Amino acid sequence: MAVALLGELSVWALDAPGSKPKRMAADLSLRWQPKAPVNGSPVVFRVASGERLKSLSGKWLKHDVFFAGDSQGKLWYGIAGASLETRPGKYLLELQAETVTGKEITFQERITVGKGKYHSIVASVPKQYTEPNPDQLREINQDKTLKADAFARVTPEREWAGGFHPPVKAQISDVFGTSRTFNGRVQSVHQGLDYAVPEGTPVAALNSGTVLLAQPLFFEGNCVVLDHGQGLLTLYMHLSKIEVKEGEHITSGQQIGLSGGSGRATGPHLHVAVRWQGVYLNPETLLSLQLP
């Protein structure tokens, strides 16, 4: 039987006619979106099997990749990602499966990661966000502990379903990966998308999940973090109002709060971030993927 290891087009299309599948131990095919991932890009792997699988797991870029199968155990999806620090190159994806009859299957494929194009800007914010006083430093450190606690929880089960959708209908005012200099001193990298919306704009969940965190933080302002399973989180920052509670299950498109300008913000807007197992990924890429 044959295993076809094919780079996936944006709509899970097949490779060009005439491409030959590699022969492996079982009838499996691997495809991925986007077709040409870059540093900072989320990647969704799809594995199809000719026979029913009991389990499927993977490892890529030193991270576990959690897969969830359909009711027949023949179509499996897993989410992964390459950090902004990932250098261009080919990185080994290792997959291990077990069929319902107890047969173990392993195979490998190198996934090419390219170099993304990112920009630089200069911005001004209140002095407390670049030169915090001792009380503010204590608050910042408390927030760090709180976030580390929340982010350490990795849920392997899939909660997301279907495609990810924008949280608001508005123009993007700042993109992922932008290098920023605040007040001529503090440098950082923008790890999300900014939407130009006025204060009080309803904010919707990108997909279904569970509220992992819902409270005010020093830099992020009023912040909501949703756990979508498979190690994938989405973050919604600078809100004027939080409308969900920690532990609450959220459906895709459900309103979770109102936009604002709380925390370190140059004005009212919505900042959305995507985090996978400690790695921040480009939300714009995730929103462009066509998923089941």
pLDDT-wise least confident of 14-28, 51-65, 128-142, 164-178: 14-28
Residue 266: predicted pLDDT: 80
For residue 144, the enclosing domain spans: 120-288
Considering the domain architecture, whether residues 231 and 125 belong to the same structural domain is answered as yes
How many residues in the chain? 292
Considering the domain architecture, whether residues 133 and 259 belong to the same structural domain is answered as yes
Q: What is the per-residue pLDDT across 87-131, written as a single tens digit (0 to 9) for each?
A: 999 999 999 999 999 999 988 999 999 999 887 666 666 666 667
Number of domains in the chain: 2
Q: What average pLDDT does the structure give for the chain?
A: 87
Among 60, 90, 113, residue at a domain's last position:
113
Specify which of 4-13, 187-196, 244-253 reaches the highest per-range mean pLDDT. Answer: 244-253
Residue 129: predicted pLDDT: 64
pLDDT greater than 60 at residue 12: no
Say which residue the tokens 């130009």 belong to: 196
Q: How far apart are CA 24 and CA 1, in angstroms?
A: 7
**Residue 57 near residue 69 (C-beta atoms within 8 A):** no
Query: Looking at this protein, which amino acid is placed at residue 18?
Result: G
Of residues 194 and 264, more confidently modeled = 194
- Which burial class, exposed, middle or buried, applies to 141 when counting CB atoms under 10 A from its CB (0-12, 13-18, 19+)? exposed
Considering the domain architecture, whether residues 85 and 12 belong to the same structural domain is answered as yes
Considering the domain architecture, whether residues 163 and 181 belong to the same structural domain is answered as yes
Q: How far apart are CA 41 and CA 220, in angstroms?
A: 23
pLDDT greater than 50 at residue 23: no
pLDDT-wise least confident of 131-135, 194-198, 260-264: 131-135
Tokens of 5: 């290891």
pLDDT greater than 50 at residue 77: yes
Considering the domain architecture, whether residues 88 and 163 belong to the same structural domain is answered as no
pLDDT tier for residue 156 given thresholds of 50, 70 and 90: very high
Residue 264: predicted pLDDT: 81
Can you give the CATH number for the domain in which 218 is found?
2.70.70.10
pLDDT greater than 50 at residue 44: yes
Among 58, 91, 113, residue at a domain's last position:
113
b/e 174-193 (16+ beta carbons within 10 angstroms → b): bebbbebebeeeeeeebbbb
Among 58, 86, 113, residue at a domain's last position:
113
Considering the domain architecture, whether residues 97 and 12 belong to the same structural domain is answered as yes
Residue 149: predicted pLDDT: 86
3-state secondary structure of 18: coil
**Residue 168 near residue 160 (C-beta atoms within 8 A):** no
pLDDT-wise least confident of 16-20, 71-75, 176-180, 216-220: 16-20
Tokens of 71: 């009711």
Strand order in the sheet with 2-5: 22-23, 2-5, 28-33, 42-49, 75-81, 63-69, 53-60, 89-99, 104-113
Considering the domain architecture, whether residues 253 and 164 belong to the same structural domain is answered as yes
Considering the domain architecture, whether residues 175 and 93 belong to the same structural domain is answered as no
